[in-house]
Chain A
Amino acid sequence: MAKSLTTNNRSTAPIVRIGVWQWLKSNLFNSAFNSLVTILVCLFLYKIIPPFVEWAFIDSLWFSTADQCRAGHGACWSIIPANIRFIIFGFYPYELHWRPTVAMVILIGLLFYSKNRNHWNRSLGAVWIAGLFIMGVLMRGGFFGLTAVESDQWGGLPLTLMLSVFGMVAAYPLGILLALGRRSKMPAIKTICILYIELIRGVPLISLLFMSAVLFPLFLPTGLTVNKIIRAQAAIILFTAAYIAEVVRGGLQAIPRGQYEAAESLGLTYVQKMRLVVLPQALKIVIPPTVGILISAFKDTSLVVIIALYDILKTTRSVLGNPSWMGFSPEAYIFLALIYFVCCYAMSNYSRRLEGELHS
């Protein structure tokens, strides 16, 4: 049992252990001012949290009628289960709700499938196109014995998911192209890209949505109409792409010139150089701001309310307009906020994991 002298002699970092009291004292009560702030914050929490818990959980009603709710003191969560199908599906025909449900399941399945980096290859595009086609058929109907449902009856969560997922999926590559175009040596392409980016970034999304709803049809030849949802979708894509472009451009600028030169000296063409050498590095750097843009794009889809599309925010508000459920808006909005939060948190969580995986 020869103990190695060398390891014994190495000095290790001293282990510092402090008790709860010590920790409180050094972190929360280490000066008169901090002690005061600590006490005030505790008082504030004491005033807020117990009443909220009482309202939201103890006195609350979960499955009751609106009248029972009005008699009680607590939260009326019953507004959600009682109206859930309208909140989720809007004016989509009641007996056909299974169709958007299946479409959403496919969409979420596709997102989960795409999460795995091993699936990032050519067939992924084909899988998405197939999925998109099936979702379209399910939502729209008119084929395979499915009853046709006009798109002005679409609404709720499927609409929100569709606008945001396709908005992001289409805006990302478009944004990359714009970023490359803005750095192009060809003056015409460069000018077009700069004009596009600056013009789009210079106006609010709402005005773009208005243009797509009101102005755009005026320029179309009579008789030709483009679906309102597609027009809104296009506006969202064009808007998001301009922001993505600027973020990606930042990533491109962070790649040292030597990387471009090494790729060129191997004889790679422009497309190969960008695809194999520059973009994989640049896009990795800009994951955090890109996800920021995607998250805000997801939330911005709620602005389609102003052109009378029934996304999930609008369907929720319609329920609140129903006289019997009037007045229970905190409950409805908290539920809505939870849905948005789950989606956004999933996105930011995934991006953090992806960054970690790509960091090696």
Chain B
Amino acid sequence: MSDETLKKSITRSEGNKMIEIIGMHKWFGDLHVLDDIHLTVYKGERIVICGPSGSGKSTLIRCINRLEELQKGKIVVDGTELTDNLKNVEKIREEVGMVFQHFNLFPHLTIIQNLTLGPIWVRKVPKRDAEEMAMVYLKKVHIEDQARKYPGQLSGGQQQRVAIARSLCMKPKIMLFDEPTSALDPEMVKEVLDVMVNLAEEGMTMIVVSHEMGFAKSVAHRVMFMDFGRIVEENTPQEFFNSPQHERTKLFLSQILN
């Protein structure tokens, strides 16, 4: 896989915006966790966000499907503005897939039931069609033979791949990844990253909070560094890793790369 084939060019035009965040602020009590965030993500674009813990990167992507509420500013996802209106929120959640650090599979349901829950109840897909589709996605993440097992019987890497497949079953337009590999044993990181790379090749719009710098280099269109609730620096991966501008970024990169 060459960088060229993966990095299909994307059109940055007004009609191609998937996510637009304007002047977003959020506080947890006195703590200013998000401080004037501006971010536009275009269709097919892949963004990797890194930064020290507590810098607000998880909170940022959790605001996009309103697992967290913002207190000031505006988020527009695929033409729909996130407001208090529950219908809007549910509509956006259908379009935005989310993968969590701790997988969050439903332990009382089998793998296939985990995958079909959303399509059956939210998209109203008939059960048989939903199961067929689920098997397609399970094949894609290479665990079709585990379909009838329960999450607790799978390894961490397998569980995270199931979680990705579960999100994909909703046919989302955007995928958010909240540190998808940081709870995994080292030998399982690659199998999950491979699935994510495949997804990138298919042109999925992705925002990934991660410290996997290899993944960022080969897949991302843009890499961002966050600290104290602000986007300190953003650039193409090449520029970002080769010539970081800010002292804080340099320090952070030297710490995680060594």
Establish whether residues A261 and B150, one from each chain, have CB atoms under 8 Å apart when the complex forms: no
- Of A258, A264, A268, A280, the residue contacting B121 (CB under 8 A) is A268
* Residue A6 is within 8 A (CB to CB) of chain B in the complex: no
Contact A258 B102 (CB under 8 A): yes
Q: Establish whether residues A266 and B117, one from each chain, have CB atoms under 8 Å apart when the complex forms.
A: yes
Given contacts A266-B118, A268-B121, A276-B121, contact A258 B93 (CB under 8 A): no
Interface range on chain A: under 10, 10 to 19, 20 to 34, or 35 or more?
10 to 19
Q: Chain A binding site: helix, strand, loop or mixed by DSSP?
A: helix
A residues in contact with B104, CB < 8 Å: 256, 258-259, 261-262
B237 within 8 A of A: no
Q: A207 contacts the other chain (Cβ, under 8 Å)?
A: no
Q: How far is the CA of A262 from the CA of B93 in the complex (A)?
A: 11
- Residues in B neighbouring A202, C-beta threshold 8 A: none
Judge whether B105 is part of the interface by a CB distance below 8 angstroms.
yes
8 Å CB contact of A266 from B91, B102, B107, B122: B122
* CB of A267 within 8 Å of the partner chain: yes
Smallest CB–CB gap between A121 and chain B, Å?
14
Partner of A261, one of B91, B100, B121, B170: B100
Does A269 belong to the interface (CB within 8 Å)? yes
Given contacts A267-B94, A276-B117, contact A262 B150 (CB under 8 A): no
**Which A residues touch B122, using CB under 8 A?**
266-268, 272
A280 surroundings in chain B (CB, below 8 A):
108
Known A266-B118, A267-B90; judge A277-B100 contact (CB<8 A). Answer: no
Q: Which residues of A contact B67 (CB under 8 A)?
A: 261, 264-265
> A-contacting residues of B (Cβ < 8 Å)?
65, 67, 90-91, 93-94, 96-98, 100, 102, 104-108, 117-118, 121-122, 150, 163, 166-167, 170
Beyond the given A267-B90, A267-B91, could you list 14 further A-B residue pairs with CB under 8 A, ordered by the A residue number? A258-B100, A261-B67, A262-B106, A264-B67, A265-B93, A265-B97, A265-B98, A266-B118, A266-B122, A266-B166, A268-B117, A268-B122, A281-B107, A284-B108
Contact indicator B108/A266 (Cβ below 8 Å): no
Bound-state Cα–Cα, A40 to B249, Å: 79
Q: Which of A112-170 contact B (CB under 8 A)?
A: none
Which single member of A259, A264, A272 contacts B106 (CB below 8 Å)?
Answer: A259
- Which of B67, B97, B104 neighbours the largest number of chain A CB atoms within 10 Å of its CB? B104
Q: Does A11 belong to the interface (CB within 8 Å)?
A: no
A268 CB contacts on chain B under 8 angstroms: 117-118, 121-122
Q: Which 4 A-B pairs have the closest CB atoms?
A: A262-B104, A266-B118, A258-B104, A265-B98
Is there an interface contact between B108 and A281, defined as CB atoms closer than 8 Å? yes
The CA of A71 and the CA of B117, in the complex, are separated in Å by 73
Q: Is the CB of B90 within 8 A of A269?
A: yes
**Residues 280-304 (chain A) with a chain B CB within 8 angstroms:** 280-281, 284
Chain B residue with minimal CB distance to A262? B104
A240-264 contacts to B, CB under 8 A, are 256, 258-259, 261-264
- Interface flag for A4 (CB, 8 Å): no
B96 and A265: CB pair below 8 A?
A: yes
Q: Once bound together, how far apart are the Cα atoms of A262 and B65, in whole Å?
A: 11
Indicate with 1 or 0, residue by residue over A95-112, a CB within 8 angstroms of chain B CB atoms: 000000000000000000
